[in-house]
Amino acid sequence: MAGWLAPDESVAVNLTVNGEARQAHAPPRRTLADALREEGFTSVHLGCEHGVCGACTVLIDGAPVRSCLMLAVQGRGHAIETVESLCDGDDLGALQQAFDDNDALQCGFCTPGFLMLIEGFLRLEPEASRQQIVEAVSSNLCRCTGAVGIVQAALDFQSTRRRSP
C-alpha cells in the first residue's frame, strides 16, 4: 500500500532536548524513552515499560511525563528535559544535591525519574504541602530507599528554591 511505512523504516523526528535541537531517526512506533536513549540520554531508564514505575520520567513542556508511554514522533514541537538539564555545569544541581545530602538514593536506577518528577511537580506546584509532595512522589517506585529520604530531599529543595531570588 502506498503511504505506509515498512516495519523497519524510520522517519526523521526533530526534537528539542535540554534546549538543543536534535534530529532522531526512529520507526513511528518507537517510544520517546527508546529514542532518547538512542540519542545518548541514558539517564532515561526503562523499568517496567508500562508507565507504572516512573524510571523513565522526563519533562515535556515542564510537566512530568512517562516517556515509555509516549511515541518519539509525539515529542515533535515540545520542549523535552532529561536529568542532564538539572546539572549546574559539572556540578550537581540543587535538587541533585538535596538527594545526595538526604541519602535519597542507593542503586540509582530510579533516581533520574524521581528527580524529574519532583522538578516538574514543584514547578507546577511551588507551594506544595508535605502531603502533596508525598502523594506526588508515591507515583514513582523505589525498591531500595523507600520514600523518606526522597521526600525530605524534595522538601529541602523546595525550601532552597523559595530562598533563591
CA distance 108 to 1: 46
Task: Name the least confident of 14-18, 42-46, 65-69, 144-148.
Answer: 144-148
For the stretch 88-101, pLDDT in tens is 899 999 999 999 99
Mean pLDDT, range 114-118, rounded to an integer: 98
- By the 8 A CB rule, do 47 and 142 touch? no
**Mean pLDDT taken over the chain:** 93
Which pLDDT does position 165 carry in this prediction? 66
Domains of the chain, first to last = 11-85 (3.10.20.30), 86-163 (1.10.150.120)
Would the CA dihedral through 65, 57, 114, 48 be positive or negative? positive
How distant, in Å, are the alpha carbons of 3, 8, 21, 37, 45 from that of 24?
A: 21, 15, 10, 11, 18
- Give pTM, 2 decimals: 0.93
6-62 pLDDT, tens per residue? 877 898 999 999 999 999 999 988 999 999 999 999 999 999 999 999 999 999 999
Distance in angstroms (rounded) separating the CA atoms of residues 78 and 60: 6
Instruction: Residue 70: name the closest of 124, 33, 27, 101 by CA.
Output: 33
pLDDT of residue 164: 74
Label residue 1 by pLDDT band (50, 70, 90).
very low
Statement: residue 130 has pLDDT above 70: yes
